[in-house]
Structure 1
């Protein structure tokens, strides 16, 4: 990918490049009064092969994160026997599930630290760190001492490792979505970014499948107590080779071109205002409205998403009355099919826009969730499968475009930090608590449809937020120059920029040709 800052004669149109990209109201260059214009060499050209490499290296992290969710969720009962032996069984399960909750409580802290750090030192470095920490923590769970070996103290190192996972996850999704959105061409950002969440749900399905396969094999070899004795360690230890592969991929991904250009502009011009890089306070001050919109959308996405993944097995087993094996395995094929549909929805959003797809998600949350829970009550496998598909529809519509939509709300210089704040606060408050609140509402009211009302409420809230959202499909990211796949496309874009309503050069880090270049024009690799 080549990006030049070519010297331009004074007075030419290209000499009117922005000298202060932080002035959103200014349509003209500071000295000449002429409109700021794009040159072909201003446009980022990122070949499809490099996009694929970048996306693959990012997806593996989300796969690992959700692989661990799948393992921990489906081994919760077994882990209770392993780490809380001697406690009351009900209390022991709560103690183990508290480890899941602790990881969510730490996520905002991870986001507050790692998000602004990613804006300061780069996306790739932070993503490498989060991947290494996550893989290490997951693998170490597999070698922890049990309650039979060290008594009640066994739960403490488990909590510490879950906190490490939560801290790293606080930077993982925010960083990964920022990375893929910045690396993707403007016209196909929805398609490329959707692979990130496809990897997440495949990772969850893989974790659940590994637990099921491990259980079947070790119990056949060593009897019904084998999972408690040693089998529970195997799924966590499988994370070691997976983690090595994932870390290798992360070490090979380049920094995003959009970050490099914005970072150079920040160093060159010491920007101020909304388009500049800010810490936590500055991000909230300049972007509070976008943060609230993003939080509402994230809440709608994750109440439905975590209901489908984390809560549904519990609901099917305790409320509907299906067997534990049926409850565990029923969601796996649904998640795989749903993951396969996400790139299709991402491509659709590139054509029709993000807002129409999000509004369809809000409508589906209201129209499908309650009937799905009613069908689920029949208890038959066919009914359960139909109901799960109905729940998966709004989840897919929300999730399929989120990696492209949410980061695009924020300018490049502060994107990682803003995403980390909005996403992790919302997930911690509303996503990870979905299983807890859903079950508590059933216990409180005696109404088995309360989880459906809970999901639908946030669906309506998310729909209202979408109405206030700026459409971002096909547009360059705020604070970035346009990104395309070929030089011919760049030439065409520059030629038609005066008649293109999607091009706003006032928010782009264009070079002021009258100012001295900080370094010779060259090729960024």
Structure 2
């Protein structure tokens, strides 16, 4: 009598409990699944992972990759930093007839509108990145980004060309948005695919170190220029100077990126393809976004949640707060900028520490702790910021900065690990830029909420909603620390670490085999008990 027939007899006789029947059904289903997996592995002729299969990452190439990726990211956030700190000036230059409150909202709105273009840039550059490689696409994005930022400094004022001034500003920002759609995701993938598995968190943290450094540089240049030429001349023509610096910075970034080789993970992916598949690679990725959304929907949701939690906090603190301090709290613009610069300098020191600790304790704890902290401390932080006492204002901003570090310290290492190599750029760029589309509205929405409600705590409530999203994400996302990227072989810093990784891999296999053997014994015992309960099976 077959096992399935035994189950049917047992069900008819009423002698088995529902839980036991369910256990037997699961045993049958698992058996069928395991047999299918076994046959699939046999057909593929899977060979054991050997020491030669572990990729040894050259330290010199790794440092060059991180420098090139971080500099491009600093270029991106240099513009965001400058734009946030000169928003009041841009409002007067490009929207002179509006009320001061509307001027700031309009300038920040111009900052937010390009985020509508970022998903298109993400889709475009994502497909190209999976088709031609990461290095080539990152060289293209930094060219577009530096030229479009430079062009902002060339746009005449509203007094000179009328309505064309804000239109040209918007077009330049849209070009930035299109290029940035492939910039951060490409840079994070580039660093992740170059990094050893045990150091991916630390190495990835330098990417957002570049972001914060870009903000510091942008803000510092704004303060320096204003101090040297005075506020009147700054409003007249000095605001253009920071945007002109984008071109030489972009050229340096292009030089560094052009000199780099393709990432080891992507090169492995290409090398494994047969000639027929190479033709398919030249035609572009065969996986549609619909397939990505259906097969990798959990990873997509985790990506979206983490990006929203990180970037809303980012834009709230580093883009909106200078205008909030100056316009809503009537705090000296120079003092407000200096406080934010001091906060960002502190973040630079904390950022790599967060990445280093995430390699030891995992990425998920930092997302969970950061989200809980944001939920609890958002209102107290804004109470301190609204106190009109310099030391307390600094303390409130510092609380938000440390919370932000807990997100940025792990984001660049977490996101690329969520998707396999052949769709990593396409999937991550799509999910990331859809999320940033929401997060990019933060400065505009925060300013609008404060103006319409006259409630200075609306930004805190905004952050609390985002904290809930981050907490759900942290609880549900998979831990990726110290694990190889999906679709790639393990990566190590040296041969000694490679041996350790290989031993851990074999130990993990042995443990899984022991767990399976234990489960088989448990199910066999349960099977014997079920047989003993039936009067006719043993006849």
TM range (shorter): 0.7 to 0.9
Q: Which residue of the other structure, out of 224, 228, 237, is the alignment partner of 2:235?
A: 228
Report how far residue 39 of structure 1 moved.
Answer: 2.0
Q: How does 1:91-170 map to 2 (within 5 A)?
A: 91-170=102-181
Q: 1:30 to 1:333 in 2, by over 3 A?
A: same
> 2:43 & 2:178 partners in 1: Cα distance?
49
Contact 2:300 2:431 in 1 (8 A): yes
Q: 1:27 to 1:117 in 2, by over 3 A?
A: farther
Contact 1:210 1:235 in 2 (8 A): yes
Contact 2:309 2:466 in 1 (8 A): yes
Larger radius of gyration: 2
Contact 1:279 1:417 in 2 (8 A): no
Contact 1:119 1:277 in 2 (8 A): no
Contact 2:105 2:448 in 1 (8 A): no
Partner of 1:72: 83
> 1:458 & 1:186 partners in 2: Cα distance?
30
Q: Which residue of the other structure, out of 365, 377, 381, is the alignment partner of 1:368?
A: 377
Partner of 1:423: 432
> 1:333 & 1:502 partners in 2: Cα distance?
51
Does structure 1 residue 278 correspond to structure 2 residue 287?
Answer: yes
Does structure 1 residue 255 correspond to structure 2 residue 266?
Answer: no
Partner of 1:191: 202
> 2:511 & 2:243 partners in 1: Cα distance?
48
1:368 match: secondary structure: helix
Q: Which residue of the other structure, out of 298, 301, 304, is the alignment partner of 1:295?
A: 304
Deviations 1:291-337 (A, max 9, x none): 11211111111121111101111222233332222222211111111
Choose 57-66 or 287-296, whichever is displaced more.
287-296
Q: Which residue of the other structure, out of 314, 331, 336, is the alignment partner of 1:327?
A: 336
Q: 1:439 to 1:234 in 2, by over 3 A?
A: closer
1:401 match: secondary structure: helix
> 1:440 & 1:461 partners in 2: Cα distance?
22
> 1:361 & 1:385 partners in 2: Cα distance?
19
Contact 1:497 1:503 in 2 (8 A): no
Report how far residue 80 of structure 1 moved.
Answer: 2.6
Report how far residue 34 of structure 1 moved.
Answer: 6.9
Partner of 1:18: none
Deviations 1:205-224 (A, max 9, x none): 110110110111122xxxx5
1:472 match: secondary structure: coil
> 1:502 & 1:379 partners in 2: Cα distance?
62
Q: How does 1:41-80 map to 2 (within 5 A)?
A: 41-80=52-91
> 1:437 & 1:34 partners in 2: Cα distance?
56
Choose 488-497 or 38-47, whichever is displaced more.
488-497
Does structure 1 residue 481 correspond to structure 2 residue 501?
Answer: no
1:400 match: secondary structure: helix
Q: Which residue of the other structure, out of 450, 459, 464, is the alignment partner of 1:442?
A: 450
Contact 2:141 2:183 in 1 (8 A): yes
Choose 172-181 or 286-295, whichever is displaced more.
286-295
Partner of 1:4: none
Q: Which residue of the other structure, out of 198, 201, 218, is the alignment partner of 2:229?
A: 218
Report how far residue 96 of structure 1 moved.
Answer: 3.0
Contact 2:112 2:443 in 1 (8 A): no
> 2:74 & 2:173 partners in 1: Cα distance?
17
Partner of 1:338: 347
Partner of 2:318: 309
Q: How does 1:371-386 map to 2 (within 5 A)?
A: 371-386=380-395
Partner of 1:517: none
Partner of 2:462: 454
Report how far residue 81 of structure 1 moved.
Answer: 2.9
Q: Which residue of the other structure, out of 187, 198, 209, is the alignment partner of 2:220?
A: 209
> 1:122 & 1:447 partners in 2: Cα distance?
48
Q: 1:382 to 1:492 in 2, by over 3 A?
A: closer
> 1:171 & 1:260 partners in 2: Cα distance?
20
More helix by share: 2
Report how far residue 415 of structure 1 moved.
Answer: 0.8
Contact 2:109 2:444 in 1 (8 A): no
> 2:440 & 2:113 partners in 1: Cα distance?
10
> 2:95 & 2:375 partners in 1: Cα distance?
40
Report how far residue 446 of structure 1 moved.
Answer: 3.8
2:81 match: secondary structure: helix
> 2:450 & 2:109 partners in 1: Cα distance?
20
> 2:63 & 2:348 partners in 1: Cα distance?
18
Q: 1:481 to 1:201 in 2, by over 3 A?
A: same
Deviations 1:274-293 (A, max 9, x none): xx862323222221221112
Partner of 2:414: 405
Unaligned 5+ runs, structure 1:
1-22, 505-525
Report how far residue 91 of structure 1 moved.
Answer: 4.6
> 2:489 & 2:471 partners in 1: Cα distance?
30
1:136 match: secondary structure: helix
Unaligned 5+ runs, structure 2:
1-33, 513-539
Report how far residue 502 of structure 1 moved.
Answer: 11
